[in-house]
C-alpha cells in the first residue's frame, strides 16, 4: 500500500482586447495497492477551486468562482524501461447539473542515463462539453546517490482543446520525493 498527497497552484492571464485572468488551486489524495512489484490499482479524490476574472470593454470586472470534485480509480504498470498509467473518473462541477466522465493515459520510456520521453492523453466529456489534452514529455532524474534526495525535472509540450478552442501548453515541473523513494516520471495527468 502507498498513499499520496499533491497540491498545485496555477495562475494565468490572457491579454487581448478583454483581459482574462485565472487563479486555480488543486489538491489530490490517492491510495494505491501493489498486487505485484510492478503493477498497482488505486483510488483518488481531486478538488479544484477556480476563479475567473474578465474585464469588458467598459472596464467592468466580472468574477466567477467554481469548484470541481473528481472521484476515480487508477492503475499502472512499470519496470526499468517503461511506465504506463491510466485512470477513469467522475467529476461533479459547481456550475453544471450533469456529472462528467474523465479518463486519461500516460506512457514513459526511460533511458539508462536518467533521461526519459513520453506522451499523454486525457479527455473529459459531459453533455455539451468536450475537453481533451494531449502532448509529449521529456524528463531528467537527478539521482540522489547516498544521502541526497533525488530530484525529477520534466518539460511538457501539449495541446488543450476545450469547446473547440485550442491552446498550446508548455510546462516545467519539479518532483522531490520527501521520503527519498522513487519519483513518478512523466506527465502529471490533470484529473
Give the tens place of pLDDT for each residue, 71-80. 999 999 988 8
Q: What grid cell was written down for 31?
A: 491510495
Q: Which residue has the higher pLDDT, 85 or 127?
A: 85
Residue 191: per-residue pLDDT: 40
Q: What is the distance between the alpha carbons of residues 126 and 133, in angstroms, rounded to a whole number?
A: 15
Of residues 95, 75, 96, the one with CA closest to residue 87: 75
Residue 157: per-residue pLDDT: 93
How are strands ordered across the β-sheet holding 115-126? 2-14, 20-34, 39-55, 61-78, 82-93, 100-110, 115-126, 129-142, 151-162, 165-175
| In the chain, % of residues over pLDDT 90 | 27
Using the CB atoms, write b or e for 112-134: b if 16+ within 10 Å.
eeeebebbbbbbbebeeeebebb
Angstrom distances, CA of residue 86 to CA of 23, 50, 80, 120, 132: 27, 25, 18, 10, 15
| In the chain, % of residues over pLDDT 70 | 79
Q: Which of 67-71, 171-175, 184-188 has the lowest mean pLDDT?
A: 184-188
Give the tens place of pLDDT for each residue, 143-169. 766 657 788 888 999 998 877 778 888
Q: Calculate mean pLDDT across residues 168-175.
A: 84
Q: Calculate mean pLDDT across residues 86-106.
A: 84
Q: Calculate mean pLDDT across residues 28-48.
A: 91
Amino acid at each position: 500500500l502507498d498513499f499520496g498527497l499533491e497540491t498545485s497552484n496555477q495562475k494565468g492571464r490572457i491579454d487581448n482586447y478583454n483581459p482574462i485572468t485565472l487563479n486555480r488551486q488543486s489538491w489530490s489524495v490517492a491510495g494505491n495497492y501493489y498486487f505485484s512489484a510492478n503493477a498497482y490499482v488505486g483510488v483518488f479524490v481531486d478538488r479544484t477551486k477556480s476563479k475567473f476574472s474578465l474585464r469588458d470593454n467598459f472596464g467592468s470586472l466580472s468574477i466567477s468562482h467554481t469548484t470541481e470534485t473528481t472521484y476515480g480509480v487508477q492503475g499502472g504498470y512499470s519496470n526499468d524501461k517503461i511506465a504506463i498509467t491510466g485512470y477513469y473518473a467522475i467529476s461533479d462541477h459547481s456550475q453544471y447539473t450533469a456529472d462528467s466522465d474523465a479518463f486519461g493515459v500516460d506512457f514513459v520510456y526511460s533511458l539508462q542515463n536518467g533521461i526519459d520521453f513520453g506522451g499523454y492523453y486525457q479527455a473529459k466529456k459531459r453533455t455539451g462539453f468536450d475537453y481533451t489534452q494531449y502532448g509529449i514529455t521529456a524528463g531528467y532524474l537527478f539521482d540522489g546517490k547516498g544521502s541526497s534526495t533525488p530530484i525529477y525535472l520534466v518539460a511538457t509540450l501539449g495541446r488543450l482543446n476545450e469547446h473547440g478552442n485550442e491552446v498550446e501548453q508548455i510546462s516545467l515541473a519539479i518532483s522531490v520525493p520527501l521520503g527519498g523513494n522513487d519519483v513518478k516520471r512523466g506527465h502529471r495527468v490533470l484529473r
